[in-house]
Amino acid sequence: MDDLKGKVAIITGGGYGIGKKIAQVYAGLGVKLVLAARTVPALEETCAELKRAGAQALAIRTDVAIEADCVKMVARTIEEFGALDILVNNSGISGPTARITETSLADWQQTLDVNLTGAWLCAREALKVMGPRGSGNILNISSAAGRMGYPLRSPYVASKWAMIGLTQTLAREWGARGIRVNCICPGPVEGDRIDRVIRARAQALNQSEEQVRRAMFANAALGRMVSEEEVARAAVFLTSEASAGMTGQTLNIDAGYIMN
């Protein structure tokens, strides 16, 4: 993946989890990094770790649901590095775990504001830079829940299905200008976040966490979760020349959790 060396990438939600792992893998390939998130301590800690490892990295506090923050994020990136080659739309929240009749409009709106509107705003600002240059890659991080019905998670599911439609639309809209837009749907990913999801689901279903976890594994052909590293490697592939003929595509990284 030598073609990524010297490229500039923004990773939203870059302070922890999948976003942090993508940043670490990119750093090892010589990518210049802008990490954006709302949680400043984790953001700055990750940025410091990357710098200690020799990477060029910049942390920008960003709430992707706020238009002005997204505008500032891209402008600051250009100011610091003079270019923007890759946008990874990774910021997201889990939203409530509840039946629709028990879900508030505020919870619905917040989930879509962060997961969907945030990706749309970041893509819009990035494309203002990428379009005139005639090159660039946008990678949207959706979810296995964007490929299936998933009871008790209606706001999250709606936002993640919509990200796939956004991916395909932007790919058609900007392909003639040399810009590729693709999507990853991770299945359950090892880490603190899935533990919180399992805990909330167990409580909502009045089941044990072990019951929920077993049901989750039962749906995966490989009988396991995936790792952040596996998702990060797919992100590198989809934003490198190794996938030059791919745009508008959605890649499942899910240990066979879904098969469509």
> Do 127 and 181 touch, CB atoms closer than 8 A?
no
DSSP per-residue string spanning 143-166:
-GGGSS--TTBHHHHHHHHHHHHH
Contact 86, 8 (CB under 8 A): yes
Characterize 232-251 residue by residue with b for buried, 16 or more Cβ atoms within 10 angstroms of its Cβ, and e for exposed.
bbbbbbbbbeebeeebbbbb
User: CB neighbours of 36 closer than 8 A, spacing ≥ 6?
Assistant: 10, 11, 12, 13, 14, 43, 59, 60, 61, 62, 64, 73, 91
Beta bridge partners of 59: 35
Residue 183 pairs with which residues in a beta bridge? 140, 250
Look up tokens 């954006």; give the residue.
36
Name the amino acid, one letter, at 232: A
DSSP reduced 3-state for 112: helix
Given the residues 16, 26, 156, 257, select the one marked as catalytic.
Answer: 156
> Catalytic residue at 150?
no
- Report, as residue numbers or ranges, the catalytic residues: 156
